[in-house]
Structure 1
Amino acid sequence: MTGATLAPAARRLWLGRALLATLAATVLAHGGASTVELDFAALGFALLALLAVTVPVAAPRLACLQVLALLSLAALLAFALWQTAPLGASPFADPAWKALGDAIADAAPRGSISVAPGLTLAAAPALAAPFLAFAVALACCQNDEEALRLWRGLAYFGAAYAAFAIVQEVFWPDQLLFEPKRFYLGDLTGSFVNRNTAGTFFGVALLLNLALLFADLRVVRLARLARRGKWSGPSAALFLHLFAVLDCAAALFLTRSRGAIGATLVATLVATAMMAARRLTLDRGREELFARWRRPAVAAAALALVLGLFALFAGRTEHRAQALASEDARWCVFSSTVAAIADYWPLGAGFGAFPDVFPAYRNVDCAGVYGVWDHAHDFFLEGLLGFGLPFVGATALVYLTLAAALIHGARVRRRLRFLPVAGLAALVLVTLHAIVDFSLQIPGVAVYVAAAIAAAVAVALGRADEDSAARRGLHNRAA
């Protein structure tokens, strides 16, 4: 192989390493929750996206998906920018600007769609980061091996971060990295400020490592392993990934996030059931009297193990959920947000403007008068309030595209089928939790999920492109 042949692969290797480093820095910087941290994170992913241009995506379907992601981002950013533009007395402008102009003599109304143009501009990096991370990840995954390498990097980082969070909670429970911890004392949050955000992250990390665990099972003979007890090679990797799964599960339960634990339970059941539907191990032979029952037995055992772990460790969370169910103000906030959407549904109140819009609709009878609500605790409601109808179209496009690709991969792939299956489960997890919380609005979680799903999609669609190219090559040679 010539140096020219190796150059693209080397560029993809270093681009993947830079992506993991930028992602890790975003997670450790409180998930990019503050404005300064967010701006640096978005700048890092933007620079990586520029570098990714030098690494063209060879697989046609992946190239189209990358272009679609970047075009979708451009359209959303353009719409957000239009929401901040001064429109004067335009009928598209929010009526609040006219009322402000009438109240202030000799003041020309600004007349923008967004109620808070400054907040809309400040929130743009949070919108851009996951789309850029997804596009960069696709550029790093030109074949199965590269996609698996990125997946392993994300899974191992998630497990290492979970171990760090547990150690921090045990020995320095009052610290948030290098700062005093002010919120959620007694709950594990890692470097995130909110336990629910941390819970979503650990849940996704658990799914990534669970996929690697099932992949290891396919290349070992459990009967021989039990007889000889050789813990090397594939068997060593099996126990490494089992430990990683338990590590992420422990961190998840210690967050005591009701939504994250429940969503992870559902997603884990989905992943376990789909992965156990195919051959699990290399065990064969006549000595296996009940070989035909292995698949349903192992599937039932895996599901029972998952349910047992959640039943064992989630007791405190269940008790807390029962104690606070009637006092959780977020249910009241949902109804207030829906009332705001009814007034702003065509073009939205401005992306990121929720903190300024919500106080006018806040129901003090159930939400109280204390505290500041920066988010709606529902990704979809807040997105609809901010963007209006365009959010519905963008969300439908994203979900239909990703779900179609991952389901296709789960149906047609064999050796690396666990990647699209786990990617689909991760999509289920973040969707369920996004209904009751704002984890997806935190850049550290959003970019982690985007990179993982990109690796899964690369496996789901990449081989189809390779097979199609091979068939075209055979046809051309025959002609």
Structure 2
Amino acid sequence: MTRPVPASAGARCVAAAQAGPRPAAAPAVAAGQRLLEWLFFASVILAVMPFGAVHTVPLGLSALCTCLILVLSLGRPVSNPAVGRLLLDAALVAAVLVGLLVLQRIPAQSLLAVDPAGNRLSQDFGVVRPTISINSEATAWSLVPLVAPILSFVAALIVFGSDRAAFRLARFLRVFGLSVVVFGLAQFLLVPNTILIFEKWTYLGSLTATFVNRNSAATFLGLVALIWFGQFLGTTRKLDWGDLAERTCSFQWRGDDAVADTLRAACAAMLSLVALFLSASRGGLIATAIGFLVVFAVMGVRTQNRDVGPNWRSIVGYGSIVTGFILFGGLALQRLNEHGADDSRFCTYWSTLSAVGDNWLFGTGFGTFADIFPLYRDVACAGIEGVWDRAHNSYLEATLGLGVSFLAILLLVLWRLVSMFRRGVGWRHRQRHLVATGLGALVLVATHAGVDFSIQIHGVAMYAASILAMASVVALGRGESSCGTESKNKSDVPGK
């Protein structure tokens, strides 16, 4: 049954929006562009697959791919001026951080005259090298893990600086993330006490996929679930609910219509959530739930002349998300019910705050937490055993290492990203789900960083940076036309 052709221009605009975009043949990707894209994909894979690149070789290879992309991209024009400005801002942040770490390794006796950490070390161990960092070698080694994800963000903005390229990056992140999820589930069900091909030595009974720590795995799995959830919400907006029953009856799993896209995205999101629940990470579960709520809330924002009142679909959606996490997050919720909040971590936080209070101006040197924490460790804390080389709070650890300058950089970066995503939500409509995914990923990572160190794992940081870069390109993309749909420019994909 064919639909009548609307007579007025306004009606034709509405009909075109309801009918969905027209498919367009994608032009061939240039060989140089394809090479840069595959190098970027390799940098992400190398970061995630071998234990999250916690060892020197995979970390170095991943960073080498990123640097090679930047070198090969020298002189490459950026078609979107807004993306170019964001690129310069990110490069400036990386340069400032490098400068801070270099400054911390330069002998500065006059600055250290009032440095409590330096004075305590001198009293306990004799004369030490007069640098801000109490362990300049550790600070030097921490440079690559700190700056590489930011440079990867810059590289992604250069290589995937158009809508079409950003869609390819989003597709890779979804497919690669789902591959890790499927591998993790198969490994957990068939050989639960192994990581890759090695015997698991910790977190037995928890799904960790390719990571060692279940909290790092939970952050990654939460990001995968989030990007597929955003894709699911994006495809549901393209469904023609009038003939949905008829199209569902003729559904083909490998079809190329909105029904097939929606069901594939739903299944992928559910698989990712199952893997997340099996990780038994309390922080990962809560952070992912908050990220889901943010994505759903952003997708429910109404713009232009639409009503902004509450609707039952939003209420049901919020309720379904919360209910789903409560019902299926059994392992993590059971740990939360049995153990509550981790008292040893909170006791560590107080000890770390004491160290920050004594070294708030210059810090003790980035990457020196394991060196400075024993001087402030509270012996009365129950549960603090062994060597604590992480603060289990990325904000506290970074502030202790870099001083108050880190907080200023953090606030500026968050303000820049949130304001950009907020504007992107207003002028992107068919691709709003990608912008919402970026904002949800930022919230997820920022939330979990407050109770763990998963963002300090290179594989997690690289995957998160890739999602943020993809969403940033889309958020800074095309605006509105008179019909209320997105206008076209050279970086656009017709009908996407």
Shorter-chain TM-score range: 0.7 to 0.9
Preserved CA contact (<8 Å) 1:59 1:465: no
Structure 2 residue 267 is the aligned partner of structure 1 residue 243 = yes
Alpha-carbon offset, residue 103 of structure 1? 7.5
How big is the shift at 1:140? 2.1
Which digits, 9 at most, give the CA deviation of each residue in 1:95-117, with x for residues without a partner? 55566667788x6x410100111
Change (3 A) 1:38 1:92: farther
Whichever residue aligns with residue 400 of structure 1, its letter is: W
Q: Which residue of 1 aligns with 2:297?
A: 273
Asked if the contact 1:330–1:367 (Cα under 8 Å) also holds between the matched residues in 2, the reply is no
SS of 2:476 mapped into structure 1:
helix
SS in structure 1 opposite 2:133? coil
Structure 1 stretch displaced more, 117-126 or 233-242: 233-242
Partner of 2:461: 446
How many Å apart are 1:28 and its aligned residue?
Answer: 0.6
CA positional deviation for 1:308: 2.6
The verdict on how the C-alpha distance between 1:163 and 1:75 changes in structure 2, with shifts beyond 3 A counting, is: same
Is contact 1:60-1:465 (8 Å) kept?
A: no
Residue 250 of structure 2: aligned partner: 230
Q: Using the TM superposition, give the Cα deviation of residue 196 of structure 1 relative to its aligned residue in structure 2, in angstroms.
A: 0.5
Q: Which segment is superposed worse, 449-458 or 306-315? A: 306-315
Task: State yes or no: 1:17 paired with 2:38.
Answer: yes
2:208 maps to 1:189: yes
1:132-180 Cα offsets, whole Å, 9 max, x none, are 1101111122321211111111112111111111111111111111211
How far has the Cα of 1:55 moved from its partner?
A: 2.9
Alpha-carbon shift at residue 240 of structure 1 (Å): 1.1
For residues 172-209 of structure 1, the C-alpha deviation after alignment (integer angstroms, 9 at most, x for no partner) is 11111121111100001111111001101111111111
Which amino acid letter does the alignment assign opposite residue 396 of structure 1?
Answer: L
Distance 1:395 1:217 in 2: 35
Match of 2:287 among 263, 270, 292: 263
Aligned 1:84-123 pairs, distance under 5 A: 84-88=105-109, 90-91=111-112, 94=115, 97=118, 109-123=128-142
1:309 matched to 2:316? no
Q: Of residues 334, 347, 351 in structure 2, which corresponds to 1:332?
A: 347
Letter of the 2:237 counterpart: R
Superposition pairs of residues 63-462 of structure 1, within 5 angstroms = 63-88=84-109, 90-91=111-112, 94=115, 97=118, 109-228=128-247, 229-231=249-251, 232-234=255-257, 235-277=259-301, 296-325=311-340, 328-368=343-383, 370-462=385-477
Distance 1:269 1:122 in 2: 38
Unaligned runs of 5+ in 1: 1-5, 280-291, 474-479
What displacement does 1:256 show?
Answer: 0.7
Deviation at 1:365, TM superposition (A): 1.4
For the 8 Å contact 2:236–2:262, the answer to whether it is kept is yes
Where does residue 16 of structure 2 map in the other structure? none
TM-score, normalised with respect to structure 1: 0.88
Q: 1:100 to 1:305 in 2, by over 3 A?
A: closer
Deviation at 1:10, TM superposition (A): 4.3
Stretch moving more, 252-261 or 224-233? 224-233
The residue type equivalent to 1:230 in the other structure is S
After the TM superposition, which of the residue ranges 367-376 and 134-143 deviates more from structure 2? 367-376
Partner Cα separation in structure 2 for residue 100 and residue 159 of structure 1: 48
Moved more, 213-222 or 183-192: 213-222
Distance 1:179 1:17 in 2: 28
RMSD over equivalenced CA pairs, Å: 2.8
Distance 1:374 1:466, change over 3 A: farther
* Alignment check: 8 A CA contact 1:94 1:114 kept: no
How far, CA to CA, are the matches of 1:310 and 1:472 in structure 2?
41
Letter in structure 1 aligned against 2:98: L
Pair 340,297 (structure 1): closer, same or farther in 2 beyond 3 Å: same
What residue number does 1:38 align with?
Answer: 59
Check 1:392–1:464 CA distance in 2 against 1; reply closer, same or farther (3 A cut). Answer: farther
Instruction: For 2:371 and 2:348, locate their aligned partners in 1 and report how far apart those are by CA, in whole Å.
Output: 14
Structure with greater helix percent: 1
Distance in 1 between residues matched to 2:488 and 2:275, nearest whole Å: 47
Question: Which residue identity is paired with 2:263?
Answer: F
Q: How far 1:367 sits from its partner (Å)?
A: 4.4
TM-score, with normalisation over the residues of structure 2? 0.85
Structure 2: runs of 5+ lacking an equivalent: 1-26, 491-496
Shift of the 181–37 alpha-carbon distance from structure 1 to 2, 3 Å rule, reads same
- Cα shift readout 1:25-70 (whole Å, capped 9, x = no counterpart): 1101211112343233222222222223243212111111111111
Matched, 1:47 2:68: yes
- Local SS of the residue matching 1:347: coil
Tell me the distance in 1 between the aligned counterparts of 2:419 and 2:63.
28
Separation of aligned partners in 2, 1:458 and 1:403: 14
Stretches of 4+ moved more than 4 A in 1?
Answer: 6-10, 92-105, 292-295, 464-467, 470-473
Q: CA deviation at 1:8?
A: 8.5
